[in-house]
């Protein structure tokens, strides 16, 4: 069961908000999980329902239609979404894309995009990774060259979450031929621009309900006003936003960890072998007891990280450590939980199989575990 009341990061208002989130997901998401997995995408009707319930972009200021809350409310949505077993891209929309617009967008960009993102009418994505550039964003090759009062964008991106659904994409590009940090910028490309094309919805090991795409930019002309923030500040903006992005992944990973553990508890207490529930065997009980201890520590650490982030004190190294710890913990718990299911765990009809598949990417996206260790090491 997802721990909620008594959490150090949350109060009574969070508990009330969580109940609203749970009711919406039980009604509009859970009955459609299998269909979303089959179709490889979460339909826009769910996005609209989430928007109408006030679950999208809760940190956006009230001036743009948001609730003006802090990240802890995003975390509530992230936890409940992950616990359902869904890979819907709400966290990307609320925790990452919206924050870029709020912090670096012009007033015109905010007025144009934020109200629709809150209502679910506009879905956003951010395109960093390229076929030849992943963790090292200085190696990107996509360009946005000035031509009068326009940029001309060329290049390709891959592994882009919300890529099929996106109405606009924040694209990391080179606006200067140099290799320094000042050569990189962020630009907004609307999906209806001539020359913009979506590739295939990528066939992934897990997270099947998340639309993850290749994107192509062929002489796409956008106004200079589509630059997000200042030209040449792209890498600085990306580095500034990393703590929240990595904390967001840690939040979702911890909720998935709890769900995998709960699936193992329920299965071992229900399934019998040699005349008694599997739970009654010492190996099962000791395995689950060891995992329970780690999960207890995990929730305490996560609450510490959320509270520290809300207070504006979470460092990049601390957020990287959270991402590293919780994604690795998820991998361990999901694997052990599947093992306790025996052959049933290898069957896709069991939730643990989906959780196990989906868990693997958390050690890769948002910065691999190896990159997290490097970031942490630099702070020592």
Q: Give catalytic residues, as residue numbers.
A: 245
> What are the angstrom distances between the C-alpha of 250 and each of 246, 349, 359?
6, 26, 12
Residue 342: DSSP 8-state: G
Residues with Cβ within 8 Å of residue 371, at least 6 apart in sequence:
135, 320
What are the DSSP calls for 115-167, one per residue? Answer: HHHHHTSS-EEEE--BTTBSS-GGG---EEEEETTEEEEEEEEEEEETTTT-S
Residue 331 sits at φ, ψ, to 5 deg, of: -60, -45
CA–CA separation, 17 and 73 (whole Å): 8
Q: Which tokens is 19 given?
A: 């109940």
Q: How many CB atoms lie within 10 A of CB 20?
A: 15
3-class SS of residue 290: helix
Count helices and strands in the chain by DSSP H and E runs: 12, 9
Give CA separation, 112 vs 106, 143, 216, 238, 338, in Å.
10, 24, 23, 22, 46
């Amino acid at each position: 069961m997802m721990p909620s009341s008594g959490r150090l990061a949350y109060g009574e208002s969070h508990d009330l908000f969580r109940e609203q989130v749970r009711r919406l997901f039980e009604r509009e998401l859970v009955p459609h999980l299998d269909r979303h997995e089959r179709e490889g995408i979460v339909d826009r009707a769910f996005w609209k329902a989430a928007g109408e319930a006030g679950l999208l972009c809760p940190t956006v200021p009230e001036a743009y239609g948001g609730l003006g809350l802090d990240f802890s409310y995003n975390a509530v949505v992230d936890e409940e979404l992950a616990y359902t077993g869904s890979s819907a891209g709400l966290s990307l929309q609320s925790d990452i894309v919206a924050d870029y617009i709020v912090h670096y967008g012009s007033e015109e960009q905010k007025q144009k995009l934020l109200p629709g993102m809150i209502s679910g009418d506009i879905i956003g994505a951010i395109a960093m990774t390229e076929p030849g550039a992943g963790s090292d964003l200085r190696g990107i090759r996509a360009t946005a060259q000035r031509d009068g009062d326009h940029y001309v964008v060329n290049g390709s991106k891959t592994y882009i979450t919300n890529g099929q659904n996106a109405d606009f994409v924040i694209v990391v590009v080179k606006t200067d031929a140099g290799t320094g940090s000042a050569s990189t910028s962020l630009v907004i490309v609307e999906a209806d621009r001539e020359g913009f094309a979506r590739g295939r919805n990528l066939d992934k090991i897990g997270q099947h309900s998340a639309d993850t795409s290749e994107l192509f930019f062929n002489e796409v002309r956008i106004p200079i006003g589509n630059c997000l923030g200042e030209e040449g500040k792209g890498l600085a903006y990306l580095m500034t936003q990393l703590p929240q992005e990595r904390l967001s992944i840690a939040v979702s990973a911890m909720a998935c960890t709890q769900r995998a553990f709960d699936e193992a508890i329920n299965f071992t207490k229900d399934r019998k072998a040699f005349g008694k529930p599997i739970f009654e065997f010492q190996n099962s009980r000791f395995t689950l007891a060891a995992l329970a201890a780690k999960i207890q520590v995990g929730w305490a650490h996560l609450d510490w990280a959320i509270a520290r982030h809300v207070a504006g004190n979470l460092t990049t190294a601390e957020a990287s450590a959270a991402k590293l710890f919780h994604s690795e913990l998820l991998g361990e718990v999901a694997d052990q939980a599947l093992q306790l299911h025996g052959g049933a765990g290898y069957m896709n009809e069991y939730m643990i199989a989906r959780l196990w598949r989906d868990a693997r990417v958390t050690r890769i996206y948002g910065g691999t575990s190896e990159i997290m260790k490097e970031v942490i090491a630099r702070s020592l």
